[in-house]
């Protein structure tokens, strides 16, 4: 399936239209009964709208429910209460409101979807199918309802009817992989092994990089074909996306002579898988609202579904709500192969909430348990680097380097990051070696070219080579304000002040709020006689909260300007200017 065709279909769904103005988050501070009791209906409504703008679904739902209690016949309040509960993930409570919404409007598709999913959970399969049939309108909901209804048919004992319903569905090309995967899982669960294998094989040929297709096909192969065939499927995936925990676990079991169980065993798990697969795809392609709803419904059916939990947390991260992501990561079962990934991401979110000590402690614990855990090492190094603990982060990155038997192109970043930490902790010899190693592994990497070239020019060494490196970096990243700043500063350091000002003005356009670039432009302006503008740039740099080490230097320039150039500087400037 193409992301473009999928995204176009998302835009046209009725359900997405329903959710366009609905917040998509929970909150840890839901108002209590006493706080709600003192509000009027209008006050509760306004508070709910405010919570909606803040994207706090749990708070929004609490206020809407309070408003609805005071005005129980208000249809708009009923709809808003219901939708906020769905998006916030309180599906059990949302079902009660869905019944009221459906009673008022038998054609409400969102209510029917929620009731249909809940019917599958309660094993009320005939009613679930009726509700799901009423939820259809548009490509996404059509596919969703068909898959869910098919699992309801299977749950009700009609496996043949379930496959027939899937096969009957027509639609865009990207339907194919979902249809074959779910038909295969239904046939596998029904022990129709030969037919299941045909469907899995067809899905695999459509997309051999789809994790759940690989898992479903690989597990079927392990039970029906020689183990080597199953292992080959997982090993092929591992080459594309190395060390995925679920794939690593599967390969270890196969090598130990174990057979892998079916991905799905019953109707409820199958319906959860359908909602997870569609929700995760929607979330990755810009349909966050609808993707969130599908994931919440998937978790209503399978509360510990690790991939659905990870996808939900990832959506919270994408909308800058780390506290909500943490809440979801904490729900990952400790015995899941994905628990370690969740713990690493949780640490990153703790750091985003300015709880760095907790984040560092969590990562330290993971590294002590698994000293070769390169992802945890990188995460800890990145947090320390972000907080300018440069000597410490260099040591942590060194632990990561020690786990690499033979560095390759993919390892350039750890040498680059360690080089930064060594340079900032005034260990230039080590820094230079790391940056050169990063370039050896990835010769044209623009950030490494920029950092090493800038460092050389700033120190007044290897000027020609450093300038060449920076220019190569700018060619690759012409709209990166920091890299354009490096070029401007390189011209400044070589005495070509006019060209420096020109490049630094361009850098300011790209990154107007960066204190270092404003400071650099002030220096360039001063050298070409534009002293009023220089003072303006320095004052702006001062007000933009520069590094503490830079602030006194900026304040000194605001008082006294720049000192006169030495004779060597003047000669360098003339030479650089003459050479262009």
Low-confidence winner among 288-302, 313-327, 463-477, 556-570 (lowest mean pLDDT): 556-570
For the cut 80, the answer to whether the pLDDT of residue 356 exceeds it is yes
Q: Per the structure block, which two tokens stand in for 365? A: 């614990």
pTM (two decimals): 0.84
Q: What is the widest separation between alpha-carbon atoms in the chain?
A: 92
pLDDT at 23: 37
For the cut 70, the answer to whether the pLDDT of residue 162 exceeds it is yes
Alpha helices by DSSP H, listed for 71-192, are: 75-88, 91-104, 109-121, 125-133, 139-155, 159-168, 175-189
For the cut 60, the answer to whether the pLDDT of residue 7 exceeds it is no
pLDDT at 551: 96
For the cut 80, the answer to whether the pLDDT of residue 569 exceeds it is no
For the cut 60, the answer to whether the pLDDT of residue 256 exceeds it is yes
Interval 190-234: pLDDT, tens = 999 999 999 999 999 999 999 999 999 999 999 999 999 999 999
**What is the rounded average pLDDT of the residues 345-367?**
96
Task: Give the pLDDT band of residue 274 (cuts 50, 70, 90).
Answer: very high
Domain boundaries, the chain: 27-88, 444-580
For the cut 70, the answer to whether the pLDDT of residue 166 exceeds it is yes
**Separation of alpha carbons 190 and 184, rounded Å:** 10
For the cut 80, the answer to whether the pLDDT of residue 182 exceeds it is yes
Please enumerate in sequence order all residues whose Cβ is within 8 A of that of 464, keeping only pairs 6 or more positions apart, or say none.
Answer: none
Low-confidence winner among 11-15, 309-313, 416-420 (lowest mean pLDDT): 11-15
Q: What is the mean pLDDT of the chain?
A: 90
For the cut 70, the answer to whether the pLDDT of residue 16 exceeds it is no
Q: What is the DSSP letter of 411?
A: G
Q: What percent of the chain shows pLDDT beyond 70?
A: 92
Task: Give the pLDDT band of residue 17 (cuts 50, 70, 90).
Answer: very low
For the cut 60, the answer to whether the pLDDT of residue 132 exceeds it is yes
Task: Give the pLDDT band of residue 487 (cuts 50, 70, 90).
Answer: very high
pLDDT at 107: 86
Q: Which of the four CATH numbers 2.60.120.10, 3.40.50.1100, 1.25.40.10, 1.10.10.10 does domain 444-580 have?
A: 1.25.40.10
**Separation of alpha carbons 45 and 62, rounded Å:** 10
pLDDT at 407: 95
pLDDT at 44: 82
Q: Nearest CA to 180 among 282, 277, 292?
A: 277
For the cut 60, the answer to whether the pLDDT of residue 331 exceeds it is yes
Q: Nearest CA to 336 among 306, 310, 313?
A: 306
Task: Give the pLDDT band of residue 14 (cuts 50, 70, 90).
Answer: very low
pLDDT at 31: 75
**What is the rounded average pLDDT of the residues 463-474?**
95
For the cut 70, the answer to whether the pLDDT of residue 24 exceeds it is no
Low-confidence winner among 54-63, 321-330, 532-541 (lowest mean pLDDT): 54-63
pLDDT at 25: 39
**Coil, strand, or helix at residue 355?**
coil
Q: Nearest CA to 9 among 275, 285, 203?
A: 285
pLDDT at 48: 80
**What is the rounded average pLDDT of the residues 256-278?**
96
Please enumerate in sequence order all residues whose Cβ is within 8 A of that of 181, keeping only pairs 6 or more positions apart, or say none.
Answer: 199, 200, 203, 210, 212, 213, 216, 277
Answer with the residue of higher pLDDT: 370 or 284. Answer: 370
For the cut 90, the answer to whether the pLDDT of residue 373 exceeds it is yes
**What is the rounded average pLDDT of the residues 377-402?**
97
């Amino acid at each position: 399936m193409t992301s473009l065709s999928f995204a176009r279909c998302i835009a046209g769904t009725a359900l997405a239209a329903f959710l366009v103005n609905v917040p998509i988050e929970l909150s840890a501070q839901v108002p209590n009964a006493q706080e709600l009791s003192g509000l009027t209906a209008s006050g509760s409504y306004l508070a709910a709208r405010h919570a909606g703008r803040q994207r706090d679904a749990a708070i929004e739902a609490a206020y809407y429910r309070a408003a609805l209690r005071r005005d129980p016949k208000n249809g708009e309040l009923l709809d808003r209460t219901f939708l906020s509960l769905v998006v916030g993930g309180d599906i059990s409570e949302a079902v009660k409101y869905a019944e009221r919404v459906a009673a008022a409007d038998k054609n409400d598709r969102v209510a029917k979807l929620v009731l249909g999913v809940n019917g599958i959970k309660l094993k009320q399969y005939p009613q679930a199918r009726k509700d799901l049939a009423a939820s259809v309108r548009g490509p996404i909901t059509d596919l969703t309802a068909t898959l869910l209804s098919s699992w309801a048919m299977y749950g009700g004992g009609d496996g043949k009817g379930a496959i027939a319903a899937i096969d009957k569905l027509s639609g865009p090309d990207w339907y194919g992989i979902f249809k074959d995967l779910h038909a295969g899982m239904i046939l596998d669960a029904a022990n129709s092994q030969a037919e299941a294998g045909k469907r899995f094989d067809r899905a695999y040929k459509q997309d051999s990089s789809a994790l759940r297709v690989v898992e479903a096909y690989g597990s079927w192969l392990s039970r029906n074909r020689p183990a080597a065939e199953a292992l080959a499927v997982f090993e092929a995936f591992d080459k594309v996306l190395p060390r995925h925990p679920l794939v690593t676990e599967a390969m270890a079991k196969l090598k130990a002579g174990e057979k892998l169980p079916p991905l799905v065993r019953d109707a409820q798990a199958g319906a959860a898988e359908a909602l997870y697969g569609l929700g995760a795809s929607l979330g990755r392609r810009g349909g966050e609202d609808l993707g969130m709803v599908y994931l919440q419904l998937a978790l209503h059916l399978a509360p510990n579904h690790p991939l659905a939990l990870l996808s939900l947390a990832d959506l919270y991260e994408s909308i800058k709500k780390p506290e909500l992501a943490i809440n979801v990561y904490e729900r990952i079962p400790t015995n899941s192969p994905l628990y370690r990934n969740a713990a690493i991401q949780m640490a990153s979110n703790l750091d985003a909430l300015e709880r760095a000590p907790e984040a560092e402690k969590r990562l330290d614990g993971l590294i002590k348990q698994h000293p070769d855990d390169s992802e945890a090492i990188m995460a800890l190094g990145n947090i320390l680097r972000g907080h300018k603990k440069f000597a410490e982060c260099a040591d942590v990155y060194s632990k990561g380097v020690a786990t690499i038997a033979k560095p390759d192109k993919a390892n350039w970043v750890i040498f680059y990051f360690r080089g930064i930490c060594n340079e900032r902790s005034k260990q230039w010899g080590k820094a230079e070696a790391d940056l050169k190693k990063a370039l050896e592994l990835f010769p044209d990497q623009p950030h490494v070219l920029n950092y090493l070239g800038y460092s050389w020019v700033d120190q007044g060494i290897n000027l020609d080579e450093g300038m060449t490196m920076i220019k190569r970096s700018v060619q690759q990243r012409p709209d990166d304000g920091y890299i354009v700043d490096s070029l401007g500063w390189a011209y400044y350091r070589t005495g070509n002040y006019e060209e420096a000002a020109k490049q630094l003005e361009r850098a300011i356009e790209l990154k107007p709020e960066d204190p270092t670039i404003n400071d650099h432009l002030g220096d360039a302006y001063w050298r070409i006689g534009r002293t009023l503008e220089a003072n303006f740039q320095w004052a702006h740099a001062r007000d933009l909260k520069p590094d503490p080490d830079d602030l006194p230097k900026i304040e000194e320039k605001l008082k006294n300007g720049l000192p006169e150039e030495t004779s060597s500087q003047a000669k360098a400037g003339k030479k650089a200017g003459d050479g262009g």
